[in-house]
Amino acid sequence: MKTQKGITAEKLYLENITKPVVVEFLNWLQDKRKSSNATRNYRMAAIHSFFSYLQYEMPEKINQWQEILSIKVKRMDKKSICYLTLDGIKLLLEQIDTTNRQGRRDLALLSLMYDSGARVQEIIDLSPSALRLENPAIVKLFGKGRKERIVPLQKEQVKILTEYIIENKLDSPEYNVSPLFPNNRGEKFTRSGIAYILNHYVENARKCNPQLIPNQISPHSLRHSKAMHLLQAGVNLVYIRDLLGHVTIQTTEIYARADSKQKREALEKAYEDVIPEKYKTGSWEKDENLLLWLKNLDK
């Protein structure tokens, strides 16, 4: 309103905010600010929320509010889930040089991200007190809205974490609430810091075998990878939902929709043979050309 209409915030009245103005603002976001459909829709959701509230606070202008509420969100293209295969995860972790202290920290960090299916922020916020490495070993994660969930840890992961904690003296009581994975300044990592570490090893792994490493890999890809591997191993979606901390099973179902291997296997199990005989690629005994060639071998 300030840059396009010349109206500063202190002179802005609700009468100035009409449907055409809101539509113009949303188009300005995308044309001038180069925002995505998702960003546009987030702004629209905030505007909708405010004017839904005004319907009850100022019902005398309900027509104006409902015109604004009639603005539709833009459809967003659904992005495919980017994840690594099991071989891809192994190759990635093999790139870490564990002969030095920093490499051992990176191994503990990235392997825990994968093993626990944690979000990046959940790993950043972890402290040593969130771990229980005695059997049964668990990590306590705090997700969105500070919702707590307990994730079991595998024996191999416990060994890596135990060695890392002892080496860095994080088992001392004074470090209970310190960052489990501090950066070189002893502070919490940032999201970009963890992405930088991951990308370093991703690039090395891609040089070794580009077919195993997709072009777009982010820290969240490790979480996607864990979910896909559990699904492919036959783990129930309900358990995967609880591991990932999803509110509803519908969110977790994106992995089932993305798993082409399971779709193919399901279709193969349900397949009924209706193809004409001449189009089948069956036994060699039905290949007349091959049989004729074999008969002529003794001539």
Alpha-carbon distance values, 136 to 117, 128, 131, 133 (Å): 18, 16, 11, 7
Q: Following DSSP, what letter does each residue of the chain receive, concatenated?
A: -HHHH---GGG--GGG--HHHHHHHHHHHHHTS---HHHHHHHHHHHHHHHHHHHHH-GGGHHHHHHHHTPPPPP-PPPPP----HHHHHHHHHTS-TTSHHHHHHHHHHHHHHHHT--HHHHHT--GGGEE-SSSPEEEEE-GGG-EEEEE--HHHHHHHHHHHHHTTTTSGGGTTS-SSB-TTSSBPPHHHHHHHHHHHHHHHHHH-GGGS-S---HHHHHHHHHHHHHHTT--HHHHHHHHT-SSHHHHHHHHHH-HHHHHHHHHHT----S-GGG----GGG-HHHHHHHHGGG-
220 an active-site residue? yes
CB of 64 within 8 A of CB of 18?
yes
Selected catalytic residue, list 5, 32, 101, 144: 144
Q: How crowded is the C-beta side of 249, counted as CA atoms within 13 Å?
A: 5
185 an active-site residue? no
Selected catalytic residue, list 40, 48, 104, 119: 119
Q: Which of 104, 114, 118 is closest to 165 using CA atoms?
A: 104
Selected catalytic residue, list 48, 104, 206, 223: 223
144 an active-site residue? yes
223 an active-site residue? yes
Catalytic residues: 119, 144, 220, 223, 246, 255
